[in-house]
Amino acid sequence: MADMQSTNAASPAIIRRQDYRPPDWLVPEIDLDFALDPARTQIRAVLSVARNGAHDRYLKLDGDGLVPLEVKVDGRPLESGEWTLDGGALIIPLTGDAHQIETLVELAPENNSKLMGLYASGGLLCTQCEAEGFRRITFFPDRPDVLSRYSVRMEADPARFPVLLANGDPIEQGSSADGRHWARWTDPFPKPCYLFALVAGDLACNADSFVTMSGREVKLGIWVKEADLPRTGHAMEALKNSMAWDERVYGREYDLDVFNIVAVADFNFGAMENKGLNIFNSRYILADPETATDIDYDGVEGVVAHEYFHNWSGNRVTCRDWFQLSLKEGFTVFRDQNFSADMGSHAVKRIEDVRVLRAAQFQEDAGPLAHPVRPESYIEISNFYTATIYNKGAELIRMMALMLGPERFRAGSDLYFKRHDGQAATCEDFVRAMEEGGGIDLGQFRRWYEQAGTPHVRATLRHDEATQTVELLLEQSMPPTPGQPDKQPMAIPLRTALFDRIGSAHKGEELLMLTQPQQSFTFGGFAEAPVLSINRGFSAPVIVATDRSQGDLAFLSAHDDDPFARYEAMQQLMVNVLVGRIAGQNVDEAAVVAAIRDTVVDPHLDPAFIAEAIRLPSEAYLGDQMAKVDPDAIHIARDALQRRIGQELEPLWRDIHARTKANSFSLSSAAKGARKLRNTALICLVASGVPDGAAVAFSQFDEADNMTERQAALATLANGASDEREAALDIFYNRYRNDALTLDKWFQTQAFALHPDTVDLVEELGRHPDFTLSNPNRVRSLYGAFGGNQWAFHHRSGKGYRLVANCIIALDKLNPQTAARLVPPLGRWCRFDDERAALMRGELQRILAEPGLSKDVTEQVGKSLE
């Protein structure tokens, strides 16, 4: 019995979507007064509360770690017996229908290591409230369907905190008698408390402006430490481009007179869309050629756009409850993906996005943490900011946009924004707006929101010479996922084309809707069997298996006019060879080498596309193609193929590497594409084992005038053993040791290296004086990257598992959210052999036995062990 009690006490409450009830009390207005100080901040809050409907329930204001120093109702101080605390929440019985509640609390932001609520980062004070951080600042109904008008007064020491920012518009400022200064900001748009923000600190501003479609001038500011100002140009360009794009593509105009962005060094996630005051992880704001790779530049552009787009998809229309998170995140990712595609290459952007989806979301769908895009339950909502909610959610919007076409999709989104402006909405509201505005029945499509797991589609083509027809048989199935043993058939839109072998063209693409478990489609006019091109553009987030031969795939890799399908054919060609080799079959590698050569020398292809197409599938992706992952066999097979490609085409790699060397840095697509191809050529050349490989890589490292080439050279060297490897790592460290974001790359490159000693090196790096658990970027650079390095992490000794588990245990005491993010790689044990699985489970059990474990880690580890 004692046992049962202790498990009960330890198992945290499950929140269910079914249990949603509208709020008992609304808060139309809130007035906040912050007396800011890192060690001792006092917060006075005045809430106007209004009973919502006829009921007699008390007022419950969420609180997390708060002690009420004063509580007043309508100006009258309450005695301590007149209120109670219930699990952190403040309970006040009220008799009337409208009251004014005043509370006073005190916090020490400098001791807030969770980075949720009000915290200190590099001398700044800043906030992070999504999802449930506001309850760590003041007592409040911390749920997204309570929308309030905010007035915020901040007061601080002007020497340490000369700049005071909050949501909305600045309306007043001044000095107080005691030498402190203050500012008041008001936000005219009612918002949920997760969008509240303030920042105080010694910040410099990159100031600019934007004139909206209706002719209003908006003041833009990007606030950073003075020394970082020269690194804010790219973010500012991205912001202005985003504002123009949302007007042009969605008809959405910005709605306040100021828009501010602040970069902070310590941040749990990428960035946050607080109304009029976005707060960013500095890695998504700061960029210059010396320290940022092209991927970093694209990351800045994409995240700036993402957060800006939230002003409509998230802020003007917010979420009713956190089960609807994908309503804002899926839609906003879809919007930022299309924006980035418009700013650069549609083909390459799609390939990159699918690569991320497969690496992160397909793995999630195939494991113990699989959940629907609209989950049914959670323990800790922070654990649901996942690739499923974000990236699969974006694929759902993309499929709707495809089925509707651009005009009708726009009509649907217009209706959505018009109908729900100022509201807290649901995923169902979005789908209904698409149905009504776009004129389509999305009945069966809704299952995409309900069913977890990745659908499998098997495509078989049968040719009938007599009738000159082909029959395409499509069969779908969906594996069981936790809590969902049986699945209903999905509505799967598949862009499909059939290629004539002669002439290498097709008669037009069709959008096939697969809605049944099995369905066949017949096409006429084929004297000879055509070649199937299916799921073009990756029109549906599914796994397709076809009976296409290596010859057919090689044909498509040379002729498909859909760039994604062309890339996919090439990847499948390589996967077949590698998976075959791992299974001990003697599959012909020559076709792969030939396809790579033909692609590389094709003058019509964009170099960035070539680089994507010829890159071998990652070790992790190869693992996903196997019934049980064998990390060592995968590494050996992939390495051997890479070597052969390097050797057989060596002159080509040397030629490309020399030819793509630029005289000076530029951010044009042509220059970025050249760098991408150059770095790929370097990988191939070094893999070939030529004696001067390390020397060529080192000179690229040494001569580069940009981080894209320097880091790629370092990463290539890091995979091997050479004097150049050690020299380059040393030089890099000494050059960037005082630049945190760039030093992260030093940790990350080593943690990601395909090197037999990586696991030992990571252990050493965990003790390096520059390693710290208090900065999430640094933790992710080392342990996050390592968890994604299949070969090293799954070292058969189990050392890798132990290292990550140790980190989770230590970090959980400081920052549970970031600690919980390290759990998923350990949770994939059932994909591995019995020995590894036992070691992984052992580490999960060790974590779970830790006393005082957070809800965050408990949920992730508990589910991983089920």
Tell me the closest approach of the beta carbon of residue 373 to ligand ARG, in angstroms. 15
130 binds, options ligand ARG, Zn ion, none, Cβ within 5 to 8 A by partner type? ligand ARG
Tell me the closest approach of the beta carbon of residue 694 to Zn ion, in angstroms. 42
- 650 catalytic? Reply is no
Tell me the closest approach of the beta carbon of residue 396 to ligand ARG, in angstroms. 17
**Using alpha carbons only, how large is the chain's radius of gyration in Å?**
28
Q: Which is nearer to ligand ARG, 100 or 113 (CB)?
A: 113
Q: Which is nearer to Zn ion, 27 or 394 (CB)?
A: 394
Residue 203 dihedral angles phi and psi, to the nearest 5° = -125, 145
Q: Which is nearer to ligand ARG, 281 or 749 (CB)?
A: 281
Tell me the closest approach of the beta carbon of residue 189 to ligand ARG, in angstroms. 17
Q: Cβ atoms within 10 A of the Cβ of 408, count?
A: 17
Nearest residue to 181 via CA among 30, 46, 31, 35: 35
* Identified binder of ligand ARG from the candidate list 254, 267, 385, 832, rule CB under 6 A: 385
Are residues 692 and 713 in contact, defined by beta-carbon separation less than 8 angstroms? no
315 binds, options Zn ion, ligand ARG, none, Cβ within 5 to 8 A by partner type? none
Beta bridge partners of 118: 127
352 binds, options Zn ion, ligand ARG, none, Cβ within 5 to 8 A by partner type? none
Stretch of 165-173, 242-250, 302-310, 482-490 lying at the interface with ligand ARG (CB under 6 A): 302-310
Stretch of 161-169, 296-304, 332-340, 620-628 lying at the interface with Zn ion (CB under 5 A): 332-340
Stretch of 200-208, 330-338, 568-576, 659-667 lying at the interface with Zn ion (CB under 5 A): 330-338
Task: Name the one residue in this structure whose structure tokens are 């979420």.
Answer: 319
Q: CB-side exposure of 684: number of CA atoms within 13 Å?
A: 28
828 binds, options ligand ARG, Zn ion, none, Cβ within 5 to 8 A by partner type? none
Tokens matching residue 710: 């320097």
What contacts 830, CB < 8 A, 6 or more positions away? Answer: 367, 368, 837
Q: Which is nearer to ligand ARG, 196 or 269 (CB)?
A: 269
272 binds, options ligand ARG, Zn ion, none, Cβ within 5 to 8 A by partner type? ligand ARG
Q: Which is nearer to ligand ARG, 103 or 282 (CB)?
A: 282
398 binds, options Zn ion, ligand ARG, none, Cβ within 5 to 8 A by partner type? none
Which 303-362 positions form the footprint of ligand ARG (CB under 6 A)? Answer: 306-307, 310, 329
The whole-angstrom separation of Cα 483 and Cα 370 is: 10
Instruction: Tell me how far the alpha carbon of residue 634 is from its chain's centroid.
Output: 27
131 binds, options ligand ARG, Zn ion, none, Cβ within 5 to 8 A by partner type? ligand ARG
Nearest residue to 278 via CA among 155, 196, 164, 189: 196
Tell me the closest approach of the beta carbon of residue 121 to Zn ion, in angstroms. 20
Which 676-705 positions form the footprint of Zn ion (CB under 5 A)? Answer: none
Tell me the closest approach of the beta carbon of residue 27 to ligand ARG, in angstroms. 21
Beta bridge partners of 201: 163
**Angle at which helices 758-765 and 799-812 cross, to 10°:** 20
Stretch of 223-231, 325-333, 525-533, 605-613 lying at the interface with Zn ion (CB under 5 A): 325-333
Beta bridge partners of 601: none
Stretch of 57-65, 323-331, 398-406, 623-631 lying at the interface with Zn ion (CB under 5 A): 323-331
The whole-angstrom separation of Cα 768 and Cα 771 is: 5
The whole-angstrom separation of Cα 556 and Cα 532 is: 9
Q: Which is nearer to ligand ARG, 195 or 773 (CB)?
A: 195
269 binds, options ligand ARG, Zn ion, none, Cβ within 5 to 8 A by partner type? ligand ARG
Are residues 631 and 638 in contact, defined by beta-carbon separation less than 8 angstroms? no
Nearest residue to 855 via CA among 8, 6, 2, 12: 12
Provide the phi-psi class of 786: left if phi over 0, else alpha when psi is between -120 and 50, else beta.
alpha
Instruction: Tell me how far the alpha carbon of residue 859 is from its chain's centroid.
Output: 20
Tell me the closest approach of the beta carbon of residue 856 to ligand ARG, in angstroms. 10
Tell me the closest approach of the beta carbon of residue 245 to Zn ion, in angstroms. 16
Tell me the closest approach of the beta carbon of residue 309 to Zn ion, in angstroms. 8
Produce one character per residue of 113-135: b if its CB has 16 or more CB atoms within 10 Å, e if not. Answer: bbbbbbbbbeebbbbbbbbbbbb
Tokens matching residue 744: 């992260």
Q: Which is nearer to Zn ion, 333 or 348 (CB)?
A: 333
Catalytic residue among 102, 155, 273, 307: 307
Q: Which is nearer to ligand ARG, 317 or 569 (CB)?
A: 317
Produce one character per residue of 560-583: b if its CB has 16 or more CB atoms within 10 Å, e if not. Answer: bebbbbbbbbbbbbbbbbbbbbbe
Opening angle at CA 680, ends 679 and 682, nearest 5:
65
Tell me the closest approach of the beta carbon of residue 131 to Zn ion, in angstroms. 12
Are residues 524 and 510 in contact, defined by beta-carbon separation less than 8 angstroms? no
Q: Which is nearer to ligand ARG, 382 or 454 (CB)?
A: 382
Q: Cite the DSSP H helix spans in 470-517.
A: none
Stretch of 257-265, 328-336, 359-367, 608-616 lying at the interface with Zn ion (CB under 5 A): 328-336
Instruction: Judge residue 356's burial from the number of C-beta atoms within 10 Å of its C-beta, 0-12 exposed, 13-18 middle, 19 or more buried.
Output: middle
Are residues 514 and 476 in contact, defined by beta-carbon separation less than 8 angstroms? yes
The whole-angstrom separation of Cα 266 and Cα 759 is: 26
Which 240-279 positions form the footprint of ligand ARG (CB under 6 A)? Answer: 269, 271-273
Tokens matching residue 129: 């409230």
Q: Which is nearer to ligand ARG, 424 or 565 (CB)?
A: 424
362 binds, options ligand ARG, Zn ion, none, Cβ within 5 to 8 A by partner type? none
320 binds, options ligand ARG, Zn ion, none, Cβ within 5 to 8 A by partner type? none
Tell me the closest approach of the beta carbon of residue 250 to ligand ARG, in angstroms. 17
What sign for the dihedral angle of Cα 301, 303, 304, 306? Answer: positive
Task: Name the one residue in this structure whose structure tokens are 């060297």.
Answer: 717
Containing 242, the helix (H) or strand (E) segment is helix 233-250
Task: Name the one residue in this structure whose structure tokens are 């080593």.
Answer: 750
Are residues 631 and 623 in contact, defined by beta-carbon separation less than 8 angstroms? yes
Which 738-757 positions form the footprint of ligand ARG (CB under 6 A)? Answer: none
Minimal CB distance residue for ligand ARG: 385
657 binds, options Zn ion, ligand ARG, none, Cβ within 5 to 8 A by partner type? none
Site size for ligand ARG (CB under 6 A):
12
Q: Is 130 in the site for ligand ARG (CB under 6 A)?
A: yes
Site size for Zn ion (CB under 5 A):
2
Q: Which is nearer to ligand ARG, 306 or 432 (CB)?
A: 306
Q: Which is nearer to Zn ion, 302 or 541 (CB)?
A: 302
Tell me the closest approach of the beta carbon of residue 111 to ligand ARG, in angstroms. 20
Q: What is the secondary structure of 101-127 as a DSSP string?
A: EEEEEEE-GGG-TT--EEEEETTEEEE
Residues within the interface to ligand ARG (CB under 6 A): 130-131, 269, 271-273, 306-307, 310, 329, 382, 385
Interface positions with Zn ion (CB under 5 A) = 329, 332
Question: Active-site residues: which are they?
Answer: 307
